[in-house]
Amino acid sequence: MPELKYIFNDSEHSRELERLRAIEEVFDPASRKRLLAAGLSTGWQCLEVGAGAGSIMRWMADVVGESGRVTAVDTDTRFLESAGLSNVEVFNADVRHLDIENGTFDLVHSRYVLIHIADFDVVLQKMLGLLKPGGWIVIEEPDFSTARAIVGDKAECESVTRLNQAIFQMFANRGIDCSLGVRLPSIFQKLGLQEFFVENDVPLSKGGSGVARVMRMSAEQLAEKYVATGKVSYEDIQRYSAFSESPDSWAVYYSTVGVICRKGTI
């Protein structure tokens, strides 16, 4: 079983924390809505896979209260060590090797985790195994195949197109499908899960907005990896950053597919 290697693991501490907090600011409201739609409430036992900077972990801990518990697992817990919450336990681990009894959790959640893992189906099966019969799983994953510049400076739009091609190539080189999000519903359908709910968010984002800012941070941190694909230059990355900050630009950077399902009781 290959070791997980998250593409941002070698990012500089303060820059990565800034990026994760920007993601939380933009995407937490939709994640919270989906978790509440799954029934999250007082006393629940929850698993957060890929806890990042910990905002959803802390929010869930508040919702479940002292009679509930949140277990957070991540291969990079540098932003979680000081959580200090009595009903939270943090594991610095690969979830595939997490030593917790199957059927433990009422709810399992992850956001933008499976997209980074070539054998994501193994991780998904592990998560489902940890879920109680009748428990809920909420998974949110991106689909980068929707990415495109809509309006903006011509040269910058061309650089956006090339950088999107670099993203596709980087994922392909790692054996990963950059459009995993759009496949989630059929994947869960084949697993026979119940009470199936699907959402697809495809924001059209103005330069300087939250999504554009997140993608600029990612491009700047992953510049070397993108250039290594041969699809893009450092000049393209500079133009991409300028495009993402321009108040006159508009783009779809990616869509997010959210799936909410219940595990069978048999």
Mean pLDDT of the residues in the chain: 92
CA distances from residue 144 to 136, 141, 248, 257 in whole angstroms, order as listed: 26, 10, 22, 11
**Domain range summary for the chain, segments of one domain joined by +:** 13-262
Check: CB of residue 60 under 8 Å from CB of residue 40.
Answer: yes
Q: Which residues contact 116 (CB under 8 A, 6 or more apart)?
A: 4, 6, 7, 176
pLDDT band at 21 (very low <50, low <70, confident <90, very high): very high
Q: Is residue 10's pLDDT more than 80?
A: no
CA-angle at 80, arms to 75 and 85, nearest 5°: 130
Helix/strand/coil percentages in the chain, nearest 5:
45, 25, 35
- What stretches of the chain show up as alpha helix (H) in DSSP? 13-37, 55-64, 120-130, 154-173, 180-190, 210-221, 223-227, 234-245
Check: CB of residue 17 under 8 Å from CB of residue 221.
Answer: no
Tell me the CATH class for 13-262: alpha beta
pLDDT of residue 132: 97
Q: What is the pLDDT of residues 113-138, one digit of tens each?
A: 999 999 999 999 999 999 999 999 99
Check: CB of residue 219 under 8 Å from CB of residue 211.
Answer: no
Q: What is the pLDDT of residues 65-84, one digit of tens each?
A: 999 999 999 998 888 865 67
Q: What percent of the chain has pLDDT over 90?
A: 83
Q: What is the pLDDT of residues 22-66, one digit of tens each?
A: 999 999 999 999 999 999 999 999 999 999 899 999 999 999 999
Check: CB of residue 177 under 8 Å from CB of residue 260.
Answer: no
Q: What is the pLDDT of residues 143-186, one digit of tens each?
A: 999 999 999 999 999 999 999 999 999 999 999 999 999 999 99
Q: What is the pLDDT of residues 97-115, one digit of tens each?
A: 889 999 999 999 999 999 9
C-alpha neighbours within 13 Å on the C-beta side of residue 222? 22
Paired tokens of 144: 């980068």
pLDDT band at 2 (very low <50, low <70, confident <90, very high): very low
Q: How much is the average pLDDT of 87-96?
A: 92
pLDDT of residue 266: 67
pLDDT band at 12 (very low <50, low <70, confident <90, very high): low
